[in-house]
Amino acid sequence: MNSSAPMPESYYRLLEKIQAVDFVLVDLTLYLDTHPNDFETIKQFNQLAYESKQLKASFEEQFGPLLQYGGSFSQYPWDWKQAPWPWQV
Amino acid sequence: MWYYEKKLQYPVKVSQCNPMLAKYLIEQYGGADGELSAALRYLNQRYTIPDKVVGLLNDIGTEEFAHLEMIATMIYKLTKDATPEQLKAAGLGAHFVNHDHALYYHNAAGSPWTATYIQAKGDPIADLYEDVAAEEKARATYQWIIDISDDPYINDSLKFLREREIVHSQRFKEAIEILKEERDRQKIF
């Protein structure tokens, strides 16, 4: 319920970049769960984990925290609970 | 424990209000081979599965909750602006009188979700073969929904989910091979 103001185009562009990198991280996680000795893939995983953190830092500066429970810092006032939620955009 | 991340795993867009399509998508929300069943099945089995494959069940189970959220987003967006008349015309009249526009864990035909949809046998091979079958059934369901849907945005997201079922199935098959290798190694003296 409730609709908030529409998000700017840059929100979607940056979010999609994060989704793309994080998708590879999910897929590599499952792959490494059954191929734990694949050195090259672990290097790729760590490189993408770094890229993901960079992208999220930049996203959070503009659009607020992505992770709950201290995974992200908060502005004043408390901004974690602010809409939009993922199903609203 | 889990951390929620304020994003969908993959974007979900809809072309227009379409409660009929939402009704079909509910199959993957609270149906036998849906995402809730998948998440609860794997995360419950992981406690008694050999250490070598706990990680896989843990991680696929977690990804299933992200898929559940994508399906919920589709249903929510397809129905949020629907009038009671439109819901009734789409076959969601019975849903409306009980839940208004709220989502609920039942299948496309309205049967509530039940734990009898999932199994935990305590036998790792039996559990993993069930998991492979579950992924293949979910893949088939996504295909049938894509076949019946004419919303290109929804179909794009559904194709992503269909591909994930294939990857999960493949990983579960690898897990079975890992356990079989281990078992065979123990027989050599």
CA end-to-end distance (rounded Å), chain B: 41
Among the partner-chain residues B10, B12, B59, the one whose CB lies closest to the CB of A30 is: B59
* Of A2, A27, A30, A18, nearest in space to A63 by CA: A18
- Residues from chain A that touch B6, judged by Cβ atoms under 8 A, are 64-68, 85-86
pTM, full prediction: 0.96
- Catalytic one among B67, B95, B106, B130? B67
Residue A55 lies in a domain: yes
Domain-embedded: residue A1: no
Min distance B132 CA to chain A CA atoms (Å) = 15
Task: Judge whether A3 lies within some domain.
Answer: no
Q: What is the number of domains present in chain A?
A: 1
Is B63 assigned a catalytic role? no
Q: Let me know if residue A2 belongs to a domain.
A: no
Does B136 belong to an annotated binding site?
no
User: Mind listing the pLDDT tens digit for each residue in B45-99?
Assistant: 999 999 999 999 999 999 999 999 999 999 999 999 999 999 999 999 999 999 9
Q: Would you say domain B19-184 falls under CATH 1.10.10.350?
A: no
B171–A33 CB contact, under 8 Å: yes
For residue B9, which phi and psi values (nearest 5 degrees)? -65, -35
Q: Which ipTM was obtained for this model?
A: 0.95
Task: Tell me how close the Cα of A6 comes to any Cα of chain B, in angstroms.
Answer: 14
Contact B55/A33 with Cβ under 8 angstroms?
yes
Residue-range definition of the domain harbouring residue A40: 9-88
- Active-site residue flag, B64: yes
- Domain residues of chain B, as ranges? 19-184
* Better-scored residue on pLDDT, B82 or B186: B82
